Amino acid sequence: MHIADVERGNLGATGIVGGNIPVATGAALAQKMQGTDRVVLCFFGEGAANGGNFHESLNLAGLWRLPVVYIVENNLYAMSVPIESAAAKLDIADRACAYAMGGEVVDGMNVLAVREAVQRAVDKARRGEGPTLIECKTYRWYGHSRSDPRKYRAKEEEAAWKSRDPIPVFADWLVDKGVCTQDEVEQIQANAERAIDIASDFALSSAFPSPASSSALFMPHPGGQRMIVRTNAGCGRGAARVHQEPAECLSVRRFRKPRQRRCDVIRTCSLWVKT
């Protein structure tokens, strides 16, 4: 979730729900002021659309005709809260007219429908015709987090959405239309899994940066820095010794149960080290 790649134009996610919406709006204002033809795509959930950030941002984007496409992934739940309990109107796209921009509901399970809607909105923004709000009706397979038992929704509802999983549905469509063969689809799948394996192996086997070289992983704390450790070499003070030699571990705050991931047992713990 919390990823960013600024060099490639990904300004990152934020732990503040809806916090990315004003950031995207500011980025779109920058594009307009600099006269580029770049268009900002801004993704968020339907829960975020009930926050003030959403309304303030869309108001300014509509007023200033900014080159931004707001894409709300309406997966029916904000954590555990069903949209019916949180919004008086169930189509978020209807809110676009309040800010003088186009609003469109799209089947978020249909890859090509989403692509076409976004392409239209991007073309419009490039013509100087301002922002669009696209609402993708979709679903989230799993819980909001690993500790979410999903008691707020029915297994039948989950199964009905899962039967429309856009990845296999789109793969079948490609084969049906003769765009590619079943073998090619399986090869693409295998390549994707391999890329994920390589990336996660690289992450797990990489050394932790030292507090001096990174501000991202470490948070200031009186007397030291908070450090999040993922390790298969023990937890708590042991992990501090492995990753932070010769830092002195001040205290271990918590650790989660070991979990099995492929062949590694990974423990996650949070501790403070003296630097």
Ligand X SMILES: Cc1ncc(C[n+]2csc(CCOP(=O)(O)OP(=O)(O)O)c2C)c(N)n1
Q: Which residues bind Mg ion (CB under 5 A)?
A: 45-47, 75, 78
Q: Between 166-176 and 182-205, two packed helices, what is the crossing angle to 10 degrees?
A: 140
Q: Does 247 bind ligand X (CB under 6 A)?
A: no
- Site residues for ligand X, 60-89, by CB under 6 A, read 75, 77-79
Q: For residue 81, what are the β-bridge partners?
A: 78
State in angstroms the smallest separation of the CB of 265 from ligand X: 28
Binding to ligand X by residue 228, rule CB under 6 A?
no
Check residue 153 for interaction with ligand X (CB under 6 A).
no
Q: 121 burial class (0-12, 13-18, 19+ CB within 10 angstroms)?
A: buried
d(CA 53, CA 72) in angstroms, rounded, equals 14
CB of 90 to ligand X, least distance (A): 13
| 55 is annotated as an active-site residue | no
C-beta of 77: minimal distance to ligand X in Å?
Answer: 6
Q: In the annotation, is 77 catalytic?
A: no
Q: How many CB atoms lie within 10 A of CB 195?
A: 10
Asked about 144 being catalytic, the answer comes back as yes
Beta strands in 95-163 (DSSP E): 102-107, 132-137
Determine the angle formed by the axes of helices 52-64 and 20-34, rounding to 10 degrees: 10
Closest approach, Cβ 134 to ligand X, in A, equals: 15
The answer to whether 61 and 42 are in contact (CB under 8 A) is no
Of 15-23, 149-157, 193-201, 211-219, the segment contacting ligand X by CB under 6 A is 15-23
Kindly list the residues in this chain that would bind ligand X in the complex (CB under 6 A).
Answer: 15-17, 44-48, 75, 77-79, 140, 144
Q: Residues with catalytic annotation?
A: 140, 144, 152
